[in-house]
Structure 1
């Protein structure tokens, strides 16, 4: 089952043109394909379909996650592009200046132009190496 499959992220956009500007201006990406179904981007070797939907931003949980090897560097670049990171004070964890540190694994969350919550995470070196190894083994 799924031996020849390809997974992708799917994010709704209530204002499709605004979402395309966000992906271009914030992530520096242009779609690899655009059609009536939406725009397909590739980030971290993962295709992400951004598509028109009236339900954009209604999910209050993480919709998409990006792993990085340097959270501080990437957060600084995103902040320069106008991204504001979310603050959480939950039973499980609390962010400080937008960052949660959980035993050496760090993460932050922000909303895209459509209200979808995107996580950026810096796993420990072992987990990052394992993720890269899994991606390589899968042919990614």
Structure 2
């Protein structure tokens, strides 16, 4: 890209794609635990809409180590209440105490982040 071309992707939407080896199991988790239902379904993929944003779960034969954030939910309202409800539904949250990242009651306090932007770690 030439120096004067600008950011050609600035107006583009971002599409999140999450792999799932067992799409039926993933669908049950999203429905039973997170309370989300797909808005569209095609062979090998499920389209979800949440908070005005879309993401897709797709059947994949590959594996991911799962050691990094793939998707985060923001602006969930009463975060401690949401964490408690998800815990009641079977979500296991990680407790972390590392330099720059510490959880208190499963909610991350990230050094340099605003407290209102705390996120659960699971």
- TM-score w.r.t. the length of structure 1 is 0.69
What is the alpha-carbon root mean square deviation over aligned residues? 1.9
From 4, 10, 13, the equivalent of 2:17 is 10
The answer to whether the 8 A contact 2:23-2:58 is kept is: yes
5+ long unaligned stretches in structure 2: 1-7
Aligned length: 110
Which runs of structure 1 show a deviation greater than 3 angstroms over 4 or more consecutive aligned residues?
Answer: 2-5
Q: Which secondary structure state, in structure 2, belongs to the residue aligned with residue 64 of structure 1?
A: coil
Q: Compute the displacement of 1:3 (Å).
A: 6.4
> Which whole-Å CA distance do the structure 1 matches of 2:73 and 2:33 have between them?
14
Larger Rg: 2
Higher helix share: 1
Q: Which secondary structure state, in structure 1, belongs to the residue aligned with residue 98 of structure 2?
A: coil
1:56/1:24 Cα in 2 relative to 1: closer, same or farther (>3 Å)?
A: farther
5+ long unaligned stretches in structure 1: 111-140
The answer to whether the 8 A contact 1:13-1:19 is kept is: yes
Q: Compute the displacement of 1:64 (Å).
A: 0.2
